[in-house]
Amino acid sequence: MKPTVLSSVKILLLLILLLAIESVCGGCVYMIYALCTTLVAGREIQLVSGMLFLKGVFLFAPVAISSSGAFLLFYLIRHQWGTKADFIVYAIWYVLSWLILIPLTFRVYESISKEEHIVATETLVSAGYFRNSEDENEVLFYSQVRDDATVEGVSISDHNITTYNKRKIHASGSVFADPIIRDSLEMNSVISFFVSSYNKMFDIGAESSRDFLSWLCFSSIGLVYLAVFEIRRLSVWRLVNVFFILVVYVGLFNLDLYIYTGDILPYVSHALMEAMPFIPGNAFVLILNLSLTVIFVLAGIFISSYRKKAVETASESVFYGAEE
């Protein structure tokens, strides 16, 4: 094979490998966390669930597909590599991903969610353990748990100890079945923020994927990610390029999310939607993403022209990443 063909094949294989690794890791993380939410102290532990794993794979697939491009750019920055043929493969991957793969993952995820059946245990908790109440105002000890979801035991609060013979077990307000497990594994505020943001964006994407034109508006974020390809050579310092790509990926994700949810400039979104009713979805998101795409494309052309001119006017030892 010619070097350019080998390079393009390597790019494609890297993208597929990155997608597979990220999706599998996402599926494992989701499966483990989901199984932990069903744990009850003293009960049998379920270690593996094929249905939850598949659900996690397709839940993480959209971010895996989009972020695989970012990891590929990091690889190209590290190895000072990337040709026009590589860009063509990269572009085809992104176009097919945003037009076919990502909408397909939403449909498969919804199908799996409908078929998923989690068998609930007859008793939410087990006897013989101290637990905090839902409002954390008392400590509960169940000495016996009955089949009718009532318990007998002891309640400790503010130096008062009371006993009860038939207390109803209230459903947990948390995703965890057992407060003991919840207190140990519940997400902290930082992780919870990222998970919540991704879930919101996932729901918006799933809703947009039901209409082709709305999906085109939503998927315009993919054009920006595609246009970042040439910006990988923004600076001779590789770390600066990596940081810039991270800022673009994470920043644009959150910016689009906040526009969709109305947390940023809701009056602008409303005005544009009224002025352009023919644009499905959020016109503000579409205009913003298209504008950023044009800016990055022009910046990439300028960077390429500048470096080409520098190579022509400098000595042959001057190369991208070397000192001028």
CA 159 vs CA 141, 156, 196, 214, 306: distances in Å: 15, 7, 38, 59, 75
**CA dist., res. 279 & res. 256, Å (int):** 16
**CA dist., res. 225 & res. 253, Å (int):** 10
**What integer pLDDT is reported at residue 25 of this predicted model?**
92
The pTM for the full model equals 0.74
For 214, residues 6+ apart whose C-beta sits below 8 A from its C-beta are 207, 208, 280, 281
Q: Tell me, what amino acid is at 141?
A: F
**What integer pLDDT is reported at residue 110 of this predicted model?**
87
The 3-state secondary structure of the chain, one letter per residue: CCHHHHHHHHHHHHHHHHHHHHHHHHHHHHHHHHHHHCCCCCCCCCCCCHHHHHHHHHHHHHHHHHHHHHHHHHHHHHHCCCCHHHHHHHHHHHHHHHHHHHHHHHHHHHHHHHHCCCCCCCCCCCCCCEEECCCCCCEEEEEEECCCCEEEEEEEECCEEEEEEEEECCCCCCCCCCHHHHHHHCCCHHHHHHHHHHHHHHHHHHHHCCCHHHHHHHCHHHHHHHHCCHHHHCCCCHHHHHHHHHHHHHHHHHHHHHHHHCCCCHHHHHHHHHHCCCCCCCHHHHHHHHHHHHHHHHHHHHHHHHHHHHHHHCCCCCCCCCCC
**What integer pLDDT is reported at residue 318 of this predicted model?**
44
Per-residue pLDDT of the chain in tens (324 residues, 90 and over written 9) = 455 666 677 777 888 888 889 889 999 999 888 888 877 776 777 778 888 899 999 999 998 888 888 888 888 787 766 667 777 888 888 888 888 889 999 999 888 887 665 444 444 677 777 777 666 677 777 777 776 667 777 777 777 777 777 776 765 556 777 777 777 777 778 888 888 889 999 999 998 888 888 888 888 888 898 888 877 777 778 888 888 889 989 999 988 888 888 767 676 766 666 666 666 667 778 888 899 999 988 888 887 777 767 655 654 444 444 444
Instruction: Write out the two tokens for 109.
Output: 């995820």
Q: Tell me, what amino acid is at 99?
A: L
**What integer pLDDT is reported at residue 82 of this predicted model?**
61
**What integer pLDDT is reported at residue 123 of this predicted model?**
43
**What integer pLDDT is reported at residue 311 of this predicted model?**
57
**What integer pLDDT is reported at residue 323 of this predicted model?**
47
**What integer pLDDT is reported at residue 137 of this predicted model?**
73
**CA dist., res. 53 & res. 111, Å (int):** 14
**What integer pLDDT is reported at residue 114 of this predicted model?**
76
Maximum Cα interatomic distance, the chain, rounded to a whole number of Å: 90
**What integer pLDDT is reported at residue 74 of this predicted model?**
84
**CA dist., res. 280 & res. 207, Å (int):** 12
For 237, residues 6+ apart whose C-beta sits below 8 A from its C-beta are none
